[in-house]
Amino acid sequence: MVQKTVRPTPAIVRKAIFDILKDVQDKTFIDLYAGKGLVGMEALKRGACEVIFVEKDPVLCIFIKNTLQKKKLSDKAKVYNLDAVHFLEQSSRAYDIIFADPPYESGELERLFKVFEKKLLVKENGLLILQHYKKESLREKLKALKIHKCYKYGDTLLTVYRREE
């Protein structure tokens, strides 16, 4: 399925994400299904040491790169023009925070779950935050990740998974 329209994360939800995270200072942060990269840009502004933007639309990747250059944030960012699941499958490291906002009701959540069941991609005390439609069902556990809390903003839910040891 090709995503035709970008559904930017609303400002209230972006604020909520960072209220939930509290501190991203010196953390590695992935913005999956980055779109225009608004969430990842916010992480950079708040002191993340590295932000990885993953977006399969090449036009949006160019937009993100141009915005990073304009805001002089390119040195702490990487932009990958890849499918989010393929990026995770190829990744050989763990991250502090992974944020994913896949197209609603697209089947992408299930694809993500399969990767998180196989691979440990979140560091100890790290978080996975999924932004999803309220009618989409989630798994309670994904390998060492367990649902910590869920927040509701209209039809949008933010579900936070925390890594358990």
Tokens 């998974």, residue located:
161
State the burial class of residue 158 (Cβ atoms within 10 Å of its Cβ: 0-12, 13-18, 19+): buried
Confidence class of residue 3 from pLDDT cuts 50, 70 and 90? very low
pLDDT at 165 over 80: no
pLDDT at 1 over 60: no
Rounded to an integer, the average pLDDT of 16-29 is 91
The full set of domain ranges for the chain reads: 25-136
Instruction: Report which of 100, 158, 97 is spatially closest to residue 125, judged by C-alpha positions.
Output: 97
The better pLDDT of the pair 138, 85 is held by: 85
- Residues of the chain with pLDDT > 70, as a percent, come to 94
Q: DSSP of 49-87, one letter per residue? A: SEEEEE-S-HHHHHHHHHHHHHTT-GGGEEEE-S-HHHH
Confidence class of residue 34 from pLDDT cuts 50, 70 and 90? very high
Confidence class of residue 5 from pLDDT cuts 50, 70 and 90? low
Condensed to tens digits (0 to 9), the pLDDT of residues 71-111 reads: 999 999 999 999 999 999 999 999 999 999 998 888 899 99
Q: How far apart are CA 28 and CA 150, in angstroms?
A: 22
Q: How far apart are CA 81 and CA 118, in angstroms?
A: 23
- Is 3.40.470.10 the CATH number for 25-136? no
pTM above 0.85, yes or no: yes
The better pLDDT of the pair 2, 76 is held by: 76
pLDDT at residue 136 in the model: 87
Dihedral pair phi/psi, residue 122, rounded to 5°: -110, 130
Rounded to an integer, the average pLDDT of 50-56 is 97
